[in-house]
Structure 1
Amino acid sequence: MTRHAPLPLWGALICAAAGGVLFDGAFPDHYWWPLVFPGVALLLRAQQGRRAWSALLVGFVGGLAFYISDIYWTALYLGPIPWLALSVTEAAFWALAALLFTLAYRWVPRALPGLFGRVVALPLVIAGLWTLRELQTNHWPFTGFAWGRAAYTQSASPFTHVVAWVGVAGLTFLLVWIAALALACVQEVGLRPLTRAFIPVVAALAVASVPVWPSNAHGVTRVAAVQGNGPAGYFDPKNVYGAVENAQITATTPLLGKGPFSMIVWPEGAADANPLADKDSASMLSALSTALDAPLVVGAITEDGKKTFNSSLLWDGFDGATAQYDKQLPVPFGEYIPYRSVFHAIAPALVDLVQRDYTPGTRANVFDIHGIKAGISICFDIIDDRQLPQMINGGAQLILAQTNNADFGRTEENVQQLAIARMRAVEADRSVVNISTVGTSQVIAPDGHTIASIPAYRPGQLIADVPLSTGVTPAIRLASAIEVGAATLGGAGLIGCLVLALAARRADSGEDDDVESFPRLG
C-alpha cells in the first residue's frame, strides 16, 4: 500500500515552491549539496495525484521558484525583465516535465502493481523523465540553457567522483533516482520504518562507494594565468577601448623573471583591443610573449568581414596569432539575438543592449602549444556537454576555461560556473585552468581539488605545475549514450506503462474505475 493521496492545491503549490527553493540551496555558493534530495522529493510529492491542469500549474510554480532563486544574477545590470523572462520560459518547460511526473505516478503503479512497481520501477522512470527534461532544456530552444542541472549541485560532495563514470547526465539520473526512491519508501506503508530508511540510505551509499576513476595524469607543465580585474563589465563606465587589456598587461608584468612557463593564459575578451586588427595591441602582446619566453592564450573579439567572433588566440612573440578558436555556441540573448527584428518589436530597449551578434565558430577547440594539447573553453562553453568530448577526442591534455564574469558582479554566478568547471575536470580527468577577468580564478586538478586560486575582484597571477592527462574516462566515451539511454528509459517506460495500464483497465472493465487513475484536462 502507498500514501499517494494528492495534496490540496494550495498545499501542493507551497510544497512545489519549497522544493524549488531547497533545490536551489544545493547549488553554490550555498554548497549545501544534501538539499538536492529533499528538494527533488518535495517537487515530486507536489505532483502526485493531480489532474492535468493542476499538475502543470504546480510544476510551473516549482520550476519558477527554482529558477528565480538560482539565476537572479541575470538581473544585476539588465533589470528584472530578462531574469523573469528566462525564469518563466524554463519554468514552462519544467511544467511540461512535471505533468509527465504526475502521469508516471498514476500509470506505473497501475501497470506494475505491487512493491516492484512502486519502489523499483517508479523511481527509475521518474529519474529518466527528469534526465529527459534536462536533455531538452540543454539543447532547445536555440542552443539551450544547461544551467541548474541536478548534477551541478555535487561539485564538492561524496558523489563528485561518480561523474567520471557516468557523466553529468548520468549523475543527475542517479541523484533523482535516490530522491524518488526515498519518497517511494516513505510512502510505502507496508514497509517497516527501519526498512524505509535503510533502502534509500543503502542506495546512496552504493552510489557514493563507486571507486574513484584511476587518473591517467602523468607529467606536469608550468602554467601561468592572469586575472587583471579590469573594467570588463559591459555596462562599466570605465570600460573604454583598451582598458581591459591594459589591466591585463599591468597584472602580467609581475610574471617577468618567474618562468619558465609553457603558456600564459588570459581570460575571455582580455584583449579588448583586437590584436588581429590593432597594431599597438599586437605589438604589446608580442613584446610580452617575447619577454616571458612563452606563448599567450588570449581572449579577444575578432572579425572576419561582416562576421564577429568571440575568440581565443594563441599568440607567439615572433609569429603573432598561430591558432584561433571561435566560440561555437554563442549564448542566445547574451551574445546574439535570434530573430532580432521580432524580439526588437517586443522589447526594443533590451534588444538594443546587445549591439553585435556573434557568429558561431567552426574551428577546432584544441591548441597545440609547443607539443602540449590544450582544450579551449570560452565562458558558458563549459556548461555544454557538446564541447568536452571534442577537446578530449582532439587530444587535449588539459583544459583552459577562459571567462568574463564581470557582468554578474559579486553574485553566485561566478562560483556556480566555477563549480561546473570543477565537475568537468573530474568528468574528463583533466586539469582545468579557470581564468576570469574578475574571478574567481582557479587551477583545478583532475580529481577536483584546487591547486591555486585568486580571490574575486583582485588582480593577480596563478602559477602552477599543472598535471597533464591523456586517458579517456567512461563519461567521455559513453556520456551521450548514458544521457539518451536514461531519457529513453523515462519516456519509453512511461509510454509502456500507459499501454499496460490501459490493458489492465480493459481487463478490469467489470470493476469500477478509480476516477483519479487517469488525468484529464479540466
Structure 2
Amino acid sequence: MLAAATGGILDAGFPDRSWWVLAPVGVALMLVALLGRGPWAGLLIGMVSGLSFWLIHISWLTLYLGPVPWLALAGLESLFFGVSLALIGVVLNVGPRVWPGAAGRLGVVPLVVAGLWTAREAISAVWPYGGFSWGRVAISQSESPFNGLVAWVGMSGLSFLMVWLSTLAVQLVREVTVGALARWSIGVASVAVLLVVPAWPAVPSGTARIAAVQGASDAGLFARYSPGQILADHTSATLPLIGRKVDFVVWPENASDIDPTRSDDAAKVLNYLGTAMNAPIVAGTITQRDGKFYNSSLLWKAGEGAVDIYDKVHPVPFAEYMPDRAFWRPFAPELIDLISRDYTIGTRDNVFDLDGIMAGIAICFDIADDQLVREMISDKAEVILAQTNNADFGRTDESVQQLAIARLRAIEAGRTVVNISTVGTSAIITPDGESLDRLPTWEPGAMVETVPLSDTVTPAMAGGRVIEWFVSGLGLAGFLLCLLNALRTRQGRVRSG
C-alpha cells in the first residue's frame, strides 16, 4: 500500500499541483518502503511505486492516443524504477555495514542512494529511442526555493541534491546513536546550506524586442482542419502587431501547416508579414527534402525565404516516427498504422542568427534534452526559443510540465526562454525563472516584450555532464561495494552453517 501511495505523492510535487515539497517526501517514503526488504522485494516495490507515479504523471497521453501508448510508456519507465529501487534497497540495508558509524550511515549512504537515483534518470533520459526526460525529480522544483541550484549543478545535479536530502532525512530517523537535537540540527543545516547558495548572476549582454504569437490552433496529429487553417490562425494573431517595432517574430511548432518552402501562397503570407513587421520570422512547419520529412523551424526573411532551417533532432518515437515498425506492428497494428509518415532525425545545428541576435532553437521535447541545450549555449545562443505544439494534449498537465522544464532551462542556462505554443502554455521566462509574460491557453494572442540577452556561461553549462557522470558513478560504485559485502556475508553464513 505504501509503495502504491508514494507514486501519487511524488506526482503531486509536479505541475499542475506544484506542491513541490511533496516530491522529496514521496521519494523518502519510497525509501522507507525498501527498509528490511531484499532485492526482489525492492524490485517489486520499485515497479509498483514507479507505475503509480507514471500512470498519473503522463495520463495526458490517453487524450488522443488512447491507453496503449500510456500503459506501454508507464510500464517501461516503471521497469527502470524497479531496477533502481532494487539497487537502492541493497544500499539502504547493507550500506550501514559497509560504512559503519554515524558518519558512514549519514554521510555516505545518502550520497550513494542519490547517485543511483540520478543514474536511473540519466539512463532513461537517453535510452531507448532517444529516451524520455519527463519525471525527473528536478522538474518538480521549478518554482521552489531550490530552483536556483540548477544553474550550478544542472538538472541531474538538482535531482541528486533533492534525493540526497530525502535519503538523509530517512537516515536521520533511523540513526539511534545520535541524539535527537543533533539529528534535527543536521537536517536543518543541510536544507539551509542549499537554500543559501546564491543565484548565478546572468549578466545581460543586450536586449531584444520579441513578438511571440499563439494562434490557438488545433494542430494535433489527428485534428481535422482545412489546409492553410493553422497558417491563417497565426497570421490573424500576428496582424494586430503590425506597426510595433520588434527585432523578430516567433511562431510555434507546426504554426504553418503548409510548407512555405514548397508553397508560393504560404511564402507570400510570410513575405507580407515579414515586410509589414520589418523583422524576420521564426516559424515551425513540416518540410520535405530529398524524399524525407522533417519537423522543422524556419528562419524566414521577406524576399529571401528560408535563410536557415533547424530540423528536430529528437522526433518523438511512436508519434512522429515509428521505430522498428515491423517488430511493434503485430502488438497494435491499428495504432502503429496511424503513424503513416516518419519524420527524419535532424542533423543541423540548433542556433539561428537573427540579424546579430543568436537564438537557440528547441522544438517541443527538444527542451528536455540536456545535450541539445548545451550545444546551443556552446554555439553562443543569447536567448532560447522553445517552439511547441501541445494541441494533442488539450488542457491536461502536459503543457505546464513542459513549461516547468523551460523554466529550469532558463535558470540553468542563464538565458531568457520564450516558450511559445500553438495553444499554450505560452510564456516568456527570464534567467531568474520569473514569468515576464504569459498567454491564456487555447486563446489567440501575442506576447511582445523586451527581454535580456546574455552570453553568461553558468557552471552547469560549463560542466556539461561531468556532474551527472560523477554522481552516477559514485552511486554505482557504492552499490558494488554493498553487493560484494552482501555476497561475502552470505558465503560466511553458508560456511558456518
Q: What's the offset of the Cα at 1:78?
A: 1.3
Residue matched to 2:430: 445
Q: What's the offset of the Cα at 1:511?
A: 10
Structure 2: distance between partners of 1:141 and 1:64: 18
Structure 2: distance between partners of 1:208 and 1:16: 30
- Which of 142, 163, 172 does residue 185 from structure 1 map onto? 172
Residue matched to 2:83: 96
Structure 2: distance between partners of 1:88 and 1:328: 25
Residue matched to 1:120: 107
Residue matched to 1:67: 54
Q: What's the offset of the Cα at 1:189?
A: 2.2
- Which of 408, 416, 421 does residue 406 from structure 2 map onto? 421
TM-score, with normalisation over the residues of structure 2? 0.97
Residues 144 and 72 from structure 1, CA distance in 2 versus in 1: closer, same or farther, beyond 3 angstroms? same
1:222 counterpart letter in structure 2: R
Alignment of 1:90-489 (within 5 A): 90-237=77-224, 239-258=225-244, 260-489=245-474
Q: Secondary structure at the match of 1:17?
A: helix
Q: What's the offset of the Cα at 1:426?
A: 0.2
Structure 1: distance between partners of 2:264 and 2:301: 15
2:209 counterpart letter in structure 1: R
Which deviations, in whole Å up to 9, do the C-alpha atoms of 1:254-294 show, x marking residues without a partner?
A: 00112x11100000010110111111001111111011100
Does the aligned pair in 2 maintain the 1:182–1:199 contact within 8 Å? Answer: no
Structure 2: distance between partners of 1:233 and 1:25: 27
1:467 counterpart letter in structure 2: P
Q: What's the offset of the Cα at 1:331?
A: 1.1
Gaps of 5+ in 1: 1-13, 514-522
Q: What's the offset of the Cα at 1:335?
A: 1.1
Does the aligned pair in 1 maintain the 2:102–2:178 contact within 8 Å? Answer: no
Does the aligned pair in 2 maintain the 1:273–1:281 contact within 8 Å? Answer: yes
Does the aligned pair in 2 maintain the 1:334–1:354 contact within 8 Å? Answer: yes
Residue matched to 1:85: 72
Does the aligned pair in 1 maintain the 2:285–2:297 contact within 8 Å? Answer: yes
Structure 2: distance between partners of 1:498 and 1:111: 10
Residue matched to 1:9: none
Which deviations, in whole Å up to 9, do the C-alpha atoms of 1:159-215 show, x marking residues without a partner?
A: 011100000000000000000000100111223233333322211111111111011
Q: What's the offset of the Cα at 1:353?
A: 1.8
Does the aligned pair in 2 maintain the 1:33–1:154 contact within 8 Å? Answer: yes
Structure 1: distance between partners of 2:477 and 2:179: 32
2:428 counterpart letter in structure 1: V
Larger deviation: 397-406 or 104-113? 104-113
Structure 2: distance between partners of 1:503 and 1:16: 30
Q: What's the offset of the Cα at 1:116?
A: 2.0
1:455 counterpart letter in structure 2: P
Does the aligned pair in 2 maintain the 1:269–1:301 contact within 8 Å? Answer: yes
Q: Secondary structure at the match of 2:465?
A: helix
Q: What's the offset of the Cα at 1:145?
A: 0.4
Gaps of 5+ in 2: none
Which deviations, in whole Å up to 9, do the C-alpha atoms of 1:389-429 show, x marking residues without a partner?
A: 11001110000000000000000000010010000000000
Query: Does residue 496 in structure 1 map to residue 481 in structure 2?
Result: yes
Query: Does residue 26 in structure 1 map to residue 13 in structure 2?
Result: yes
How many residues are matched?
497
Q: Secondary structure at the match of 2:464?
A: helix
Q: Secondary structure at the match of 2:176?
A: coil
Does the aligned pair in 2 maintain the 1:182–1:197 contact within 8 Å? Answer: no
Q: What's the offset of the Cα at 1:50?
A: 1.5
Q: What's the offset of the Cα at 1:63?
A: 0.2
Q: Secondary structure at the match of 2:308?
A: strand
Residue matched to 1:517: none
Which deviations, in whole Å up to 9, do the C-alpha atoms of 1:7-55 show, x marking residues without a partner?
A: xxxxxxx111111111100000111000012100011111222223222
Q: What's the offset of the Cα at 1:438?
A: 0.3
Does the aligned pair in 1 maintain the 2:206–2:453 contact within 8 Å? Answer: yes
RMSD (CA atoms): 1.5
Q: Secondary structure at the match of 1:463?
A: strand
Does the aligned pair in 2 maintain the 1:107–1:494 contact within 8 Å? Answer: no
2:230 counterpart letter in structure 1: V
1:128 counterpart letter in structure 2: G
Does the aligned pair in 1 maintain the 2:213–2:249 contact within 8 Å? Answer: yes
Q: What's the offset of the Cα at 1:84?
A: 1.0
Residues 158 and 512 from structure 1, CA distance in 2 versus in 1: closer, same or farther, beyond 3 angstroms? farther
Larger deviation: 412-421 or 202-211? 202-211
Structure 2: distance between partners of 1:168 and 1:87: 22
Structure 1: distance between partners of 2:426 and 2:37: 46
